[in-house]
Structure 1
Amino acid sequence: MASVSNNPNPMPNVGAIVAISVTVFVVTVAVKIWIIVCICNKAKKHTEQYRDDSRFIPLNMVKFLDDMEREKPIRFTSQQLRIATDNFSFLLGSGGFGTVYKGIFNNGTAVAVKVLNGTSDSIEEQFMAEVSTMGRTHHFNLVRLYGFCFESSLRALVYEFMVNGSLDNHLFKANKGPIIGFEKLYEIAVGTARGIAYLHEECPQRIVHYDIKPGNILLNSNFCAKVADFGLAKLCNRDNTHITMTRGRGTPGYAAPEVWLPLPVSHKCDVYSFGMLLFEIIGRRRNYMDVGLGDSQQWFPIWVWGKYEKKELKDLMDVCAIEEKDHEAVERMVKVALCCVQYRPETRPVMSIVVKMLESALPVPESLNPFSYMFSGVNEVDDSLARLAWNGGGADWSSSDVITKSTVVAETPLMRKYEITIASD
């Protein structure tokens, strides 16, 4: 008989086991990958949902973010401002357009509240001028508008508080307290120029200030300059090179000649005013008060021109008590001021160029007499002005660009860029 095997533990099929193991492994890995993908997709959708769908953001937060995006000024009530100012008991100063009071809100924020004065029409004009300009601008060298109040009993503007007040209080103050050093005054001049340059050249619409003067330059705790008081400011499209004026604007002594005469007005009127401000910073005196110059009838800017023309700026340094270490900076400021106060607007540089000249990034061109139009027998159009031209072949001012009335110079791309034109007759 044939024997029959009856082994209770036969050898397993190794190939089948390996196949099963591989299959299980692959399935496991696939499941894990699928789970990871699902989790990532869910997280992505969740993130996008919260990012794109405002329904998941509280309505008050949506409003806050929208306001922050637009930098919308806050609308205060008269009661809020009366509480903040202790019923307007802390007077900071006053001027032709309003009275300014100090206020403190519950969160400790100090503010300057400017209560507008005048007739209903003038108040509304000033209110719209300041809110429409300051409400849409933000620059380190511009004072910040926090908000406003417009009620029948109170029309007011709320600004950030500048602890060191206005520049004129430091230049012309009667009490002989601590005096700002010239190095800091130079920084104030540069900061002011940057603020004006921003208004003219960087805003969506050009903003012409019309009233640049020491009283409208405020100083924070670090004595950094902030251009303020936009009650006369006007928005203008960049395509419009000149602005129609219905009446004179600005402050006598700082306002450009074209502002008071029946002449076209452009943003160059602020350049002129800045030049006059530079003269007052240099002399630490108001331009019309020339005590100590030997001739009480002589206007300080003309006296400075005389010293510059005769190459006697050392006399200016002595009279104005300017230290030796500051002589180079003062000489640069004198040259820039003379460029800025040229009689004809087209011969004044734009403010971005003024900034570069003050910062020594560009040399300052030699200037012709900007005041000769004030003397009899001189033709202000033909003989009194430096014809400042941008050197089209490079990036520097060149003395060869000062031309006579008989010269005709073709406009170069750089001249167009920096709005410098040549008067040929």
Structure 2
Amino acid sequence: MKALKEAEEKNKILNKLSNSDVRYRKYTIEEIESATDYFAQTRKIGEGGYGPVYKCYLDHTPVAVKVLRPDATHGRQQFQQEIEVLSCIRHPNMVLLLGACPEYGCLVYEFMSNGSLDDRLFHRGKTPPLSWQQRFRIASEIATGLLFLHQSKPEPLVHRDLKPGNILLDRNFVSKISDVGLARLVPPSVADTVTQYRMTSTAGTFCYIDPEYQQTGMLGVKSDVYSLGIIFLQILTARSPMGLTHYFERAIEKGTFNEMLDPAIHDWPFDEAMRLANLSLQCSELRRKDRPDLGKVVLPELERLRALAEENSCPSLMYNLNISPNHSQVSLSRVSQLAYITSLTSIHYQISLTCTIS
């Protein structure tokens, strides 16, 4: 029975691939080999869930090429699914798939020059700390991108492996969700009501995995909300995720919450940071039914925190923080406040207007 279900899922993916319109540029293996100097180690910038990642130039554009390892277990199916998902996704807070070489298992993404949120929180490469304004904005962007996945049609998508290492930052520090290869298509009826869906195997990364999903194999959109809560706590602390919820709860009880905040930031708005911490702890509740709704509760609170960040940023800093086009669509009431930088961000607005999923 298990094998039959897995075969049906695989056939569903393959059928969608064969019947869907091609929304990405197809590259030949010769083009990719030439661009990566035949996958030279000097071009390698990381190791993904199922293969290495290389930086190179294709069509005079800096790109990241993800290559499927021949020995990656179930990797080929994940690769096919990622092409299907990403070729349909156009959103300011999702990493853009530019092209692929399906025959040889290569994906070509836009290059994200500021690395991952994990890199920036832990100052890899001796980079300066993210300001609290940037952190509040990034939290809002991650939630916005995730809600987009959950509201995808005809069926919502659950990421399953959300973590700071899978949140990438572009040159303006706009955050985008990557690595959706572990995502599964969840029936709308499940997402809207029971929010549970039995999976054949547990996927994800330790510390960020929904405890209920880990124990029962039951997956739902609130599985991602748990991961989101842990990420938000790390945004506040720049600490390891291990035991972070416990440390936060104890600090709040003892009145030492300020000691949990990342000391690299000296001007934390205490009350708002506490609000984000409490929201994060709600998101990371052990029982799925106790976690808040992403669209109705989590995102509105993050939008308020983001508004505060914008109010406390000078115009030049606001542009450096790159007020994302998606945010302008979600919070139309603030478009007028940002009119004076519209000319600077017109390109992003044009992109956002075309970023829809069919």
TM over 0.5: yes
Q: Distance in 2 between matches of 1:180 and 1:325?
A: 12
Q: Are 2:50 and 2:72, in contact at CA under 8 Å, matched by a contact in 1?
A: no
- 2:285 corresponds to 1:334: no
- Change in CA separation of 1:100 and 1:263 when aligned onto 2, cut-off 3 Å: closer
* Residue 357 (structure 1) aligned to one of 254, 277, 301: 301
* Residue 226 (structure 1) aligned to one of 152, 159, 176: 176
State percent identity of aligned pairs: 35
Q: Are 2:162 and 2:208, in contact at CA under 8 Å, matched by a contact in 1?
A: yes
- 2:69 corresponds to 1:100: no
Q: Map of 1:118-197 to 2, 5 A cutoff?
A: 118-119=70-71, 122-151=74-103, 154-197=104-147
Please list the CA deviations of residues 175-196 of structure 1 after superposition, one character each: whole Å capped at 9, or x if unmatched: 5332221211111111111000
Q: Distance in 1 between matches of 2:130 and 2:271?
A: 18
Q: Map of 1:208-227 to 2, 5 A cutoff?
A: 208-227=158-177
Which residue of structure 1 lines up, in the alignment, with residue 353 of structure 2? none
Which residue of structure 2 lines up, in the alignment, with residue 348 of structure 1? 291
Give the partner amino acid of 2:257.
Answer: L
Give the partner amino acid of 1:127.
Answer: F
Q: Distance in 2 between matches of 1:198 and 1:76?
A: 28
Give the partner amino acid of 2:102.
Answer: F
Which residue of structure 1 lines up, in the alignment, with residue 63 of structure 2? 111
Which residue of structure 1 lines up, in the alignment, with residue 202 of structure 2? 248
Q: Are 2:160 and 2:209, in contact at CA under 8 Å, matched by a contact in 1?
A: yes
- Name which one, 1 or 2, has greater alpha-carbon Rg: 1
- 2:143 corresponds to 1:200: no
- 2:37 corresponds to 1:86: yes
- 2:250 corresponds to 1:306: yes
Deviation at 1:109, TM superposition (A): 1.3
Deviation at 1:143, TM superposition (A): 0.4
Q: Are 2:200 and 2:217, in contact at CA under 8 Å, matched by a contact in 1?
A: no
Q: Distance in 2 between matches of 1:228 and 1:97?
A: 13
Q: Distance in 2 between matches of 1:357 and 1:349?
A: 11
Deviation at 1:328, TM superposition (A): 2.9
Which residue of structure 1 lines up, in the alignment, with residue 11 of structure 2? none
Q: Are 2:136 and 2:305, in contact at CA under 8 Å, matched by a contact in 1?
A: no
CA RMSD of aligned residues (A): 2.2
Q: Distance in 2 between matches of 1:100 and 1:360?
A: 36
1:114 aligned counterpart, secondary structure: strand
Q: Are 2:129 and 2:265, in contact at CA under 8 Å, matched by a contact in 1?
A: no
TM-score (norm 2): 0.73
Bigger mean CA offset, 194-203 vs 268-277: 194-203
Q: Distance in 2 between matches of 1:320 and 1:283?
A: 8
Q: Higher RCO, 1 or 2 (CA under 8 Å, sep at least 6)? A: 2
Which residue of structure 1 lines up, in the alignment, with residue 328 of structure 2? none
Deviation at 1:120, TM superposition (A): 6.5
TM-score (norm 1): 0.62
Give the partner amino acid of 1:172.
Answer: F
- Change in CA separation of 1:346 and 1:91 when aligned onto 2, cut-off 3 Å: same
Q: Distance in 2 between matches of 1:361 and 1:121?
A: 42
1:239 aligned counterpart, secondary structure: helix
Please list the CA deviations of residues 372-400 of structure 1 after superposition, one character each: whole Å capped at 9, or x if unmatched: xxxxxxxxxxxxxxxxxxxxxxxxxxxxx
Q: Are 2:169 and 2:175, in contact at CA under 8 Å, matched by a contact in 1?
A: yes
Q: Are 1:92 and 1:101, in contact at CA under 8 Å, matched by a contact in 2?
A: yes
Deviation at 1:322, TM superposition (A): 4.0
Deviation at 1:88, TM superposition (A): 2.1
Deviation at 1:329, TM superposition (A): 2.9
Moved over 4 A (4+): none
Which structure 2 segments of 5+ residues have no match? 1-19, 307-358
Q: Are 1:165 and 1:219, in contact at CA under 8 Å, matched by a contact in 2?
A: yes
Q: Distance in 2 between matches of 1:281 and 1:310?
A: 21
Deviation at 1:70, TM superposition (A): 5.2
Q: Distance in 1 between matches of 2:239 and 2:122?
A: 6
Instruction: Give the total of aligned pairs.
Output: 280
Deviation at 1:325, TM superposition (A): 4.4
Q: Are 1:71 and 1:136, in contact at CA under 8 Å, matched by a contact in 2?
A: no
Q: Distance in 2 between matches of 1:213 and 1:167?
A: 9
1:135 aligned counterpart, secondary structure: helix
Q: Are 1:133 and 1:235, in contact at CA under 8 Å, matched by a contact in 2?
A: no
Q: Distance in 1 between matches of 2:305 and 2:67?
A: 41
1:287 aligned counterpart, secondary structure: coil
